[in-house]
Structure 1
Amino acid sequence: MDLSAPLDLFGRQAQFQRITQVLARDGDLLIAGVSGSGRRTLVRRAAQEVGARILEVDCIRVTHGQRFVQLLCESIDQTFQSPADRAVIQQWIKGDAAELFVLQDLGSGRQRLKPLQPASQKHLWRAFETLLNLPQVLAQSLGRRVVLILQSFPHIRSWDRNGAWETFLRREIKRQTQVSYVLVATIAETSTHPEETSNSLEIVQLFPLADDIVAAWVQEVLRVQGLTFDPRSQALELFLDAVQGHLGDASALVRRLQTVRSPDKLIRNCQVQQAVQELLADLSMVFESLLMLLPASQVQLLECLALDPTDKPQSREYIHKHCLARGGSLQGALTGLQHKGLIYEPEQGYRLALPLLALWIRQRLS
């Protein structure tokens, strides 16, 4: 175990090295994993390692094409603010985008890159095509690598019904040589688009960390804070059982443990249990809202898998035991939960991807 690694890369050093190598050669990649698995942390650290400028668009916030253009424009504007950057952008506007974008004067020498209100869908599409080429122009003119991170990339399909925007994006990924595209998605994306590797996208998948890695990580984090698990208790085992290799949940639980410390700075069973319950109480509204957004068939299946884990939810016995719908309805629920990053695929036994959500469901239904 390499305890010299930065704590936010703990257990992911191999993936970090691979991502860094891809970005160093201006490659493109799909990084797949569940929320809290460290996808964005790894990519941001790797981009900083190779000295790249980072652009980010959160596709969850993109509800239509105009919003995509607006958010990408804001990211470019925030990242490229030096006089040299502005000179390149001004030249780009004069040459290719005079009717599409403007550098708005905000006073005190400040400017903001802003899209003009599109007069038509054709105008909006031209703005999208033209803006997507700007990071390449900036990279070439400034001699700097650029990394464009598209978080929750598959979400654009919720409004891009005919796939025109996604198709163009994938074409640009192949064409642009000085911009590295990073698509951040759930594990399910690798099975939805198995042709990614032939499309010049390298795939990095993040699965739950092994218990020994999480144990080493949490003990090192607590050591820095002057805390330690009581070796005479089962506190560490309780911690590992609660987080199930999920680093995001582990980080949240560590922060909670730091608030329930004892005078002797030893963490015992009762403190882990208290921290878990307090954290679940804080997350309760988030989890309730999540379930309200899911179709009833997905909620039922999620509850069944939390209460009664199985690697064969399609089996006749499991369906009969939990009164699940058969055939396409069950498969649709499984696929939907996988695409939302709420359960893993068959290779991981259909386990819930968010351990604290599974624990909350069990307590809620008990």
Structure 2
Amino acid sequence: MNLVNLSAPFELVGRQAQFQRITQVLARDGDLLIVGVPGSGRRTLVRRAAQEVGAAIVEVDCIRVTDGQRFVQLLCESIDQTFQSAATQALMQEWIANEAMELFVLNSEASSRQRLKPMRTESPETLWQAFEALLHLLQQLAELLGGRVVLILQSFPHIRSWDRNRVWETFLRKEIERQTQVSYVLVATIAETSLHPDEPGNSLETVQLAPLSNDVVAAWVQAVLHGEGLTFDPRSQALELFVNAVQGHLGDASALVRRLKSVRVSDGLIRDWHVQQAIQELLADLSMVFESLLMLLPANQTHLLESLALDPTDKPQSRDYIHKHCLSRGGSLQGAIAGLQHKGLIYGSEQGYRLALPLFALWLRQRLS
């Protein structure tokens, strides 16, 4: 059985079915929620699908959005970077003159290109008008191009950190249902699938990216290394070490294989110690990132994360596990589980609550042992 199309680009390996589905949704101007852990290839799949259907891509990283004003600024910047042709610039000039003169301006710069920028405002009403106007501008740009526009909202649930009453989110979800030529793609962690589908604006088609199977990862990495004149020593456990280290995680597999591609051995055989050395070098390079990540977590989430790294279980709520690791009972534990799931750091019950970033889990185990 053909487990994986090895001729496909790396980010599509093992994801061809999801890619086809995303492409079909965007081709019919649909909207979708794509969920998975960080490094699972969510944005890359959407970008490739948007390119496949000839859509212009506008992208906002919601982690960088700290309030409504920042949201407007980043959305404006992305629109400006995406639409630079003379025709779209002319449309934006006309749009400002007719609809948004007090909200936006096109400033000429040394590059001879005009840049779309929002007017500075402290008024919540004016800020809201600017936000509405930009979403309507996207529809007009799509109509002018006679094609499609895809608005990718990366880490979308993050806006709830400041949009406490979900005013901005509710309006966005209504726009998702109303607009016809702009496809909205919300990129989130798997925890986002727990939203009630009967709520307004939540009836998005959902594409979920689970970890790749070990067979897919093994077939892919062997094909990549073969192209470099390398192969895993069949008498060793090198391939098994690789597969166990990345556990189906696309980002970690990519990072580790880049290390192995630089290995220079006279007979072209990668042995156990080559893989082990590559893993240790990678963990050393990522150490500061992992340390910073831990520092940002509340104490109860850090404690639970470390417990799951050292002692994996599919029942962290069990009395024995709570007692063994001195975890808080009740709401505090459930809050820690939910918090880690929303951050994309652990899977839910369907994957046995294991850590979602395998190299991070390995680093934690080494750090704590």
| Greater Cα shift, 339-348 or 222-231 | 222-231
- Alpha-carbon separation, structure 1, partners of 2:159 and 2:201: 22
- Structure 1 unaligned runs (5+)? none
- Alpha-carbon separation, structure 1, partners of 2:234 and 2:108: 62
SS at match of 2:8: coil
Aligned residues of 1:53 and 1:146 also touching (Cα < 8 A):
yes
- Alpha-carbon separation, structure 2, partners of 1:208 and 1:338: 15
**Do the aligned partners of residues 361 and 156 (structure 1) sit closer, same or farther apart at CA in structure 2, a change above 3 Å counting?**
same
- Alpha-carbon separation, structure 1, partners of 2:279 and 2:196: 37
Out of 310, 316, 320, the position equivalent to 2:313 is 310
Deviation at 1:200, TM superposition (A): 3.8
Corresponding residue for 2:151? 148
Out of 21, 24, 33, the position equivalent to 1:18 is 21
Out of 143, 161, 164, the position equivalent to 1:158 is 161
Deviation at 1:176, TM superposition (A): 0.4
Corresponding residue for 2:225? 222
- Alpha-carbon separation, structure 2, partners of 1:189 and 1:84: 38
Corresponding residue for 2:99? 96
Deviation at 1:347, TM superposition (A): 1.1
CA offsets, 1:26-48, max 9 Å, x none? 00000000001010110000000
- Alpha-carbon separation, structure 2, partners of 1:197 and 1:350: 30
| Greater Cα shift, 6-15 or 223-232 | 223-232
SS at match of 1:325: coil
Corresponding residue for 1:245? 248
Deviation at 1:108, TM superposition (A): 5.0
- Alpha-carbon separation, structure 1, partners of 2:29 and 2:167: 25
SS at match of 1:270: helix
Out of 138, 141, 144, the position equivalent to 1:138 is 141
1:1-366 map, 5 Å = 1=2, 2-195=5-198, 199-366=202-369
- Alpha-carbon separation, structure 1, partners of 2:328 and 2:24: 46
CA offsets, 1:141-187, max 9 Å, x none? 22021000000000000111111111111010000000000000000
- Alpha-carbon separation, structure 1, partners of 2:330 and 2:197: 24
CA offsets, 1:93-122, max 9 Å, x none? 112111100110114531100101114111
Aligned residues of 1:28 and 1:200 also touching (Cα < 8 A):
no
- Alpha-carbon separation, structure 2, partners of 1:158 and 1:93: 31
- Alpha-carbon separation, structure 2, partners of 1:196 and 1:186: 19
Paired residue type of 1:255: R
Aligned residues of 1:197 and 1:203 also touching (Cα < 8 A):
no
Number of residue pairs matched? 366
- Alpha-carbon separation, structure 2, partners of 1:19 and 1:82: 27
- Alpha-carbon separation, structure 1, partners of 2:198 and 2:211: 24
- Alpha-carbon separation, structure 1, partners of 2:347 and 2:57: 29
TM-score norm. by structure 1 comes to: 0.97
**Do the aligned partners of residues 108 and 36 (structure 1) sit closer, same or farther apart at CA in structure 2, a change above 3 Å counting?**
closer
**Do the aligned partners of residues 119 and 63 (structure 1) sit closer, same or farther apart at CA in structure 2, a change above 3 Å counting?**
closer
- Alpha-carbon separation, structure 1, partners of 2:110 and 2:363: 51
| Greater Cα shift, 91-100 or 272-281 | 91-100
Q: Percent identity?
A: 78
